[in-house]
Chain A
């Protein structure tokens, strides 16, 4: 059973890494706006007419 200690410590290590990630995210204002990003993904492949792009190509 003692191997559980190892497993837990490994898990804890990873969890701590993610905690660091969380802190970074909050500090860098990642979660300031929890509305626009959801809208943004809908248009991230909205084509801008370039010579090599077919204008008929739409996402709707």
Chain B
């Protein structure tokens, strides 16, 4: 359930909430019912934790329940069934200590005056109505907390608290204690929050809409030629009122277009803003002249309408997804604080405080923030994050550890040899790819089209003007000139792309595929080369599986569950998989437990010694380890006493239907594979990619980046599909960077598209869809061109009337918008990328 929420909430929260609504209908007993935790709904082992008729999965959940009911907040459990979040890591007292550091607070707090502080915390745990209610009732849990306001789409809660009564660190601890652990990242500290929605735009739309409506009201008598309104008083009054209403539209609402047009002219390139600006100017001048001279009522309604529709188009185009950040850099992956050791006092300090030479302590699963040297303990580092190499490597005292690696196993102590910002990883971000603001964004379909268009319009306008002037009707000539500009004002043209591409973008978002902006679609349509990362992209940890190879007697079920228990104590990435095949979750009292990082685990149980680990390690322990036929993946072995009883082979499996995908792509595109892994599987991928595809292994992040750069040098339009930091450079450099994520909302490197892993096999369809939507835009241009021709012929004749203008303008815009939206949605359905049923 939580999964669904995470995937689709960003786009259509109400859909999810609906299901929450049903949940809210349930009575609390349903939740407690089938051995599921009353608090978090996860299955309970036994009934050790209970309160009255309620069972809990763990002490943590029970504790939260007690806190809530003590504060009269157990309504929480009636708003949704088992709405709680399992309290996973009991945060130690000093975990949040660094938050009280003034320097940190200065950057995290939105506001403080000493008596009252306001902070906006990111709380990924928020997932339902009950959460919102609970978090907005925080003040009941601690006297120091005042208002707290949740922003559900952003998964944020803005808390105001009195520092005198409760320290910042205590606020964080309180939230953690009820299961809503706030999340701080280094990026947050450097204020890389996603910007707020564009208020200015909304204001402009509002003002334009207001003016549009009221000017139209004042124009109705004119449209209808009501005699009773021919009284000069009315004409003048309404005329000047409209003029007044149109001023803010022109100066405030349309300001961006003036600006853009000026810019375009200065850069000697005819973007669509130029004819728009011209049209607006013509509209206002013409109208002003008519009204002041009392000859007519002008076209101010069309002016306001035009701007209104244009701005609506913008709003539609500027769709941003609150929870999705496309520009994450390495800082987003690092924790905000680590345990620093100084003269054996350990204190958690902000990462930004760390300097090279500092000694820090890393627990199991923590990232190495900067290149450092191992001082104490034995490390097992998982570099998959950095290099894509899936095998964790053992490191001994004195070895160099690189930033971005993840420590598995025991607690280690390291000394930083570089500052956080100068590490192996960070240096990737110094590359030009991250600096330059590419000009390619100006190369849109619309702009290419508008160049010809604008030229043509100017030509017609001038020639029409000149024609009438030569035929001795200067006044009519002038009118013809302006009215051509008015009619040709490419409102429909400007709306086509935003609505066509915007619609596609929305549909995809509802499926969990997020596009950075609509331009991505246009670039996607031009892609001719596709570069794949291997680990996590074509293959996946999720899909990998372990095969059990019994030797001679093999393992009894009893022993299996013993080894399962043993594996549970191991931190090795494979141990989880091994547990699965052994399938057992009984508890055993092992003695003499010992884990050797990079080696294995050993322990004694009723007189027998159990070992689980790598071949080398067992051999070092003097055991004979038989070969497993055809094992190219890495293997682990289970031994009882001196006898190896079974082997476990890990196969990193391809994602389902990957062959099919590559089959679809290879005829149309040049394919390439980049992997941080060793060459073990070259043959396998050669078969998949075909003979002419380029396969590169042992690629460092820099080599990947360079590879993409080179392709582009050969004039290719490159799409890079990858995950993890090791692809960050390549993703950024490529024309379209596609970041594959197991779950939307989890960290992904900077990219243009965020693609849920389940949709990787549908990549071909995505490309197809992009081409279709761009085609839709082109057709829309055709339609609006027809309208323009019709209007221009009338205008060039110098016989444009307000009514014609008033009807033609919205008619063209609306019909184009309808067409664009309609056919884009159809394209989505055709390519079968419509939202998954919830």
Contacts and interface: CB of A to CB of B under 8 A. Distances in A.
Do A and B touch (CB < 8 Å)? yes
Nearest to B154: A33
Interface residues of A, number: 31
Interface stretch (B47-55, B67-75, B288-296, B524-532): B67-75
Contacts of A58: 75, 78
Given A35-B153, A46-B78, 12 more contacts: A2-B231, A8-B217, A12-B241, A23-B203, A31-B202, A32-B151, A32-B197, A42-B129, A43-B129, A48-B73, A48-B75, A49-B74
A33 B202 contact: no
A39 B152 CA distance: 9
Nearest to B13: A35
B237 A15 contact: no
Given A1-B228, A5-B234, A48-B75, A23 B132 contact: no
Given A42-B129, A48-B137, A60-B78, A33 B153 contact: yes
A48 B229 CA distance: 63
A50 B140 CA distance: 12
B150 interface: yes
A19 B214 CA distance: 12
Contacts of B14: 35, 38
14 contacts: A8-B217, A15-B210, A15-B213, A23-B207, A27-B203, A33-B153, A36-B132, A36-B149, A42-B21, A43-B129, A46-B78, A49-B72, A60-B25, A60-B79
B218 A48 contact: no
Given A26-B202, A42-B129, A43-B79, A33 B73 contact: no
A19 B213 CA distance: 12
B659 interface: no
Contacts of A32: 151, 196-197, 199
Enumerate the 8 nearest inter-chain pairs by beta-carbon distance, A residue then B residue, closest first. A49-B72, A43-B133, A36-B152, A1-B228, A46-B75, A33-B151, A48-B72, A22-B206
Interface residues of B, number: 44
Contacts of A40: 132-133, 136
Interface of A: 1-2, 5, 8, 11-12, 15, 19, 22-23, 26-27, 29, 31-33, 35-36, 38-40, 42-43, 46-50, 58-60
A1 B229 CA distance: 9
B24 interface: yes
Interface string B348-381: 0000000000000000000000000000000000
Contacts of A2: 231, 233-234
B210 A19 contact: yes
Nearest to A57: B75
Contacts of B152: 33, 35-36, 39
B206 A23 contact: yes
B27 interface: yes
* Best-buried of B27, B75, B241 by chain A (most CB within 10 Å): B75
Interface of B: 13-14, 17, 21, 24-25, 27, 72-75, 78-79, 129, 132-133, 136-137, 140, 149-154, 196-197, 199, 202-203, 206-207, 210, 213-214, 217-218, 228-229, 231, 233-234, 237, 241
A25 to B, nearest CB: 9
A8 B132 contact: no
A33 to B, nearest CB: 5
Contacts of A35: 13-14, 152-153
Given A2-B231, A35-B152, A36-B152, A26 B206 contact: yes
A60 B241 CA distance: 54
A32 B152 CA distance: 11
B214 A15 contact: yes
A12 B213 CA distance: 10
Given A15-B210, A23-B203, A26-B206, A39 B17 contact: yes
A39 to B, nearest CB: 5
A29 B203 CA distance: 11
A36 B207 CA distance: 26
Nearest to A48: B72
Nearest to B245: A12
Contacts of B153: 33, 35-36
Nearest to A11: B217
Contact of A39 (B129, B196, B199): B129
A50 B73 CA distance: 10
B72 A60 contact: no
A27 B73 CA distance: 34
Nearest to A18: B210
A32 B79 CA distance: 25
Contact of A36 (B74, B79, B151, B231): B151
A22 B206 CA distance: 7
Contacts of A47: 75
A38 B697 CA distance: 51
